Amino acid sequence: MRANQSSLLALTIGAVGVVYGDIGTSVLYAVKEIFNSGHVQFTPDNVLGILSILFWTLTTIVSLKYVALVLRADNHGEGGLVAMLALASQAVKDKPGLRRVLLVVGIFGTSVFYGDGVITPAISVLSAVEGLEVVSPTFKKAVVPITLVVLLALFWVQKRGTGGIGKFFGPITLVWFAVLSWLGLIHIAQNPSVLVAISPIYALRFMWEHPGTTFIILGAVVLCVTGAEALYADMGHFGKRPIRLAWFSVVFPALVLNYFGQGALLLADPASIKNPFFLMAPDWFVLPLVGLATMASVIASQALISAAFSVTKQVIQLGYLPRMRILHTSVKDTGQIYIPFINWSLFVAIVLAVVMFRSSSNLASAYGIAVTLDMLITTVLTFFVIRYAWRYPLWLCISATGVFFVIDLAFFASNLLKFVDGGWFPLMIGTGVFMLMLTWKQGRRLLHIKRREDAFDLRDFLDSVFVSPPTRVSGTAVFLAAESGQVPNALLHNLKHNKVLHEHNLFVTVVNHEVPWIGLDKRLEIEPLGHNCWQVSVHYGFKNDPDLPAALAQLRGHGCELEAMTTSYFLSRDTVIASLGGGMALWREKLFAQMHLNASGAADFLKLPNNAVVELGSKIEI
């Protein structure tokens, strides 16, 4: 029992650091942006109304939607938009038309996540460093350069992994939330009447008296729930209970106390609206608070960068992006990975965002569209999961998700008003990634069709070969095939040029599934083909770590035992040629051909030994 409690405590502290780093830094800019928008007249009643709206937004979106409902939709213990997409698509697999629509919607939501991944680190770090302006206005010119240095350091250390510094995330973020609570309590104690805003009457009164203004400021109010999607995405790392415990015992109370403390400060000193968070602190504590806020924003950014690596790996497994070089940064945790291309692409985009927008207020205009669109898509996918996978009655499904859908739609519609002021930036990134994903998926489908047209049946081919068999050489040959039952091009080229066949031959197809994990007991399917030849299918979920030699080691006892020194892996390295009249526009075919050319080799992706790989090339016109 004591060990279980200790483990729960450790997971809860870890969840505070990783899951809630992003939402924990929203106090830096949310209140400031609402009142600096110029739409809310500064009056005591309006301050109470805004505080009430913030409180009930946190309660409705985070506590009820994500913590109470969405966390229940786990895909074999995993969460996140990709896991939800897989769950929803499996639930409607008997409705192919609906399934295709959900896949497109879900993949677009995943693409938009990258836009959110650019804005979040930029606005978090920039708003933290802007605290220096409270210390002295002379620091204003140094804010952007310091932000860029902090971001460069953050992305530079990614290749070392988060294992070494990750253990400090939880304690530092706990200190951060303790400071948020302390600062809030100082000012609430001076004006405890501000707590009346917990009543929904103040939010409803503000919305009734200012309906137009309410709609407009929802684009700034949504800043208080930045990072809410991380609740669901990190479920596989921490579990539901630690995430829920961390929210209700630490994060939610600290955020409420700080927001209400900022409200109490504004009631006492309206001039503090220029930066209410840092002006809450005593003069002697402003500089340490800037340092702590910067650390908290770096942790928040780190969580999002790690999520970008994880999501990219999952999307590659699902077949929507080409293989990329993936480095494992921990020998214990397979989830700790580093993808150089994604790391530096994110960095370049974030630097561009900081240089273009130059302040957290300007970035706030760009923020919101991406995150509210993902929130909306999550709600839609949740409906199909609880309706078709859980088989709940239609009226209950509509009731459970309908309210959240209306709220998410209102937030999204409000954020669309910021499109011209910067909202286009994350949408441009998301749309670009979406186009790449669809091009890769459709290009692979065209490639698959072309291969099938030119393919021979494997069993018939082997029967014809062994009528007059070629010379057999000792050892084992592993031929990778795109589709089970077809002759791999590498086998044709090997017979044509080398005119030999190995003593043992495996024809291996790697099959990726729309579930997070495939267990070792279901990893292999083996079919004997005679003449010491076998057809092998290797199954992986989108969170499994592909390791083909380790998987094939399970063949022991099936008549074929792979020895590292006598096994060769034969791969087909196809060059794609774009042509007019194909299945895609010529520019998309050329883009696919370039993506295919630059994709990481299958040998690296499947962890094949470099000294045992033979690649045989061919050209395919699509």
What integer pLDDT is reported at residue 162 of this predicted model?
A: 59
The pLDDT of residue 3 is 45
Distance CA 449, CA 228 (A): 41
| DSSP states of 484-512 | TTB--HHHHHHHHHT-EEEEEEEEEEEEE
Identity of the residue numbered 194: V
β-bridge partners, 530:
533
Distance CA 259, CA 52 (A): 10
Please give the structure tokens belonging to residue 370.
């991406």
Cα–Cα distance, 322 to 436 (Å, whole number): 10
Instruction: Record the tokens describing residue 153, joined without a space.
Output: 């350091």
Torsion of CA 546, 613, 158, 250, to 10 degrees: 10
Question: Residue 93 and residue 90: Cα distance in Å, rounded?
Answer: 5
- In degrees, rounded to 5, the angle at the alpha carbon of residue 369 between the alpha carbons of residues 365 and 375 is 140
Q: What is the per-residue pLDDT for 182?
A: 97
The rounded radius of gyration (Å) of the Cα atoms in the chain is 27
Q: Are 455 and 487 in contact (CB under 8 A)?
A: yes
75 DSSP 8-state letter: B
Q: Are 567 and 610 in contact (CB under 8 A)?
A: no
Token representation of residue 172: 């530092």
* Average pLDDT, consecutive stretches of 10 residues, N- to C-terminus, the chain (622 residues): 64 83 89 83 91 96 90 77 86 89 91 87 87 82 91 86 65 94 96 95 95 92 85 77 91 96 94 91 92 89 82 86 81 69 93 90 83 90 91 91 93 91 90 94 86 82 88 90 86 85 91 84 88 91 86 81 85 80 82 86 85 80 74
- Tally of residues, the chain: 622
Closest alpha carbon to 545 in 342, 344, 333: 333
Distance between start and end Cα atoms, the chain: 61
Q: Output the six-digit token pair for 189.
A: 């104690």
Kindly state the helix (H) or strand (E) to which residue 34 belongs, with its residue range: helix 30-36
Q: Please name the residues in contact with 331: beta carbons below 8 A apart, sequence gap of 6 or more.
A: none
- Please give the DSSP secondary-structure letter assigned to residue 160: G
Q: In angstroms, rounded to a whole number, what is the distance separating the alpha carbons of residues 86 and 103?
A: 8
Answer whether 248's CB lies under 8 Å from 241's CB: no
Alpha carbons within 13 angstroms on the beta-carbon side of residue 392 total: 14
The H-assigned helical ranges of 92-141 are 96-129, 132-135
What confidence score (pLDDT) does residue 221 get? 92
User: What are the φ and ψ backbone dihedral angles of 477, each rounded to 5 degrees?
Assistant: -110, 130
Residue 197 is predicted with a pLDDT of: 95
CA distance 518 to 303: 26
Helix 211-221 to helix 394-416 angle (10° resolution) is 90
Three-state secondary structure call for residue 544: coil
**Residue 144, CB half-sphere, CA atoms under 13 Å: how many?**
13
What pLDDT score was predicted for residue 383?
93
The DSSP code for 350 is H
The domains found in the chain, sorted by start residue, are 2-442 (1.20.1740.10), 455-621 (no CATH)
CB atoms within 10 A of CB 486: 18
Q: Is the pTM of this model over 0.85?
A: no
Which of 394, 14, 305 lies closest to 173 in space, CA to CA? 14
Q: Exposed, middle or buried by CB within 10 Å (0-12, 13-18, 19+), for 471? A: exposed
Q: What is the DSSP letter of 149?
A: H
Name 469's Cβ contacts closer than 8 Å, sequence gap at least 6.
501, 531
Helix 163-190 and helix 286-318, axial crossing angle in degrees, nearest 10: 130
